Amino acid sequence: MPREVVWVTGASAGIGKAIVEAYVAEGAVVAATARPSERLEGLAQAHENVLAFPADITDATAIKATVAAIEERLGPIDRAILNAGTHHPVKAQDFKADDLRALMETNLMGTANCLEALLPVMLPRRGGQIAVVSSVAGYTGLPTSAYYGASKAALFNLCESLKFDTDKAGVDLRVVAPGFVRTPLTDKNEFPMPFLMEPEDAAKRVVKGLKGRRFEVTFPRRFAYQLKLLRCLPYWLYFPLVARSTKTR
């Protein structure tokens, strides 16, 4: 039986690296993409079934070439985990439009570049799965997350809109919304992070969730539902509650 071909972006560290290793454990062959680095090469060298395809997701031409190279070498991509992204905490006094634009270029437009490369090959085949990694930070505004939360909220809306068409074409489009996962990016946060998870535990949730039928794979569930409930509150109640819980007031 042919092995599943999985493409993971943002694969060199954090949750992306853990997702690569989780799919290797499942018996898949994994195409790992991140910007060129010793970490990416080391990941490929450490696992027989991992092949490095270095690329910057903000380069649309490079990403189209990467998808073509993966399919030429490994065969059709069965599952793509579009995980690459970054985080830049910001307070109001430090807000810069250029910084927001740069983060959007990676988190939103970089993901869009991957979708633009994947959809033309998956839609005609009427098969395959694409999982876009957003965040529970996309549910509602959180302290210091103006840039990051805006980009992740945009990914939710993007995928919700595209899903009407991908469903008709037989392509399984999903959104993954992790809570706080211990990575160099979350280490930048200056507020308490409830239910903080290790990357390996998060990766297991991703793999398990993408085997199910839910459009949104979110975890930890308790924290995700708390945030979903918060966004339904009137603002006069929402802002004091969040400020108190994050110790920003």
d(CA 34, CA 93): 32
Catalytic residue among 23, 148, 225, 235: 148
225 is catalytic: no
d(CA 112, CA 90): 24
Using alpha carbons, list the distances in angstroms from residue 42 to 142, 149, 194.
35, 31, 32
The catalytic residue positions are 148
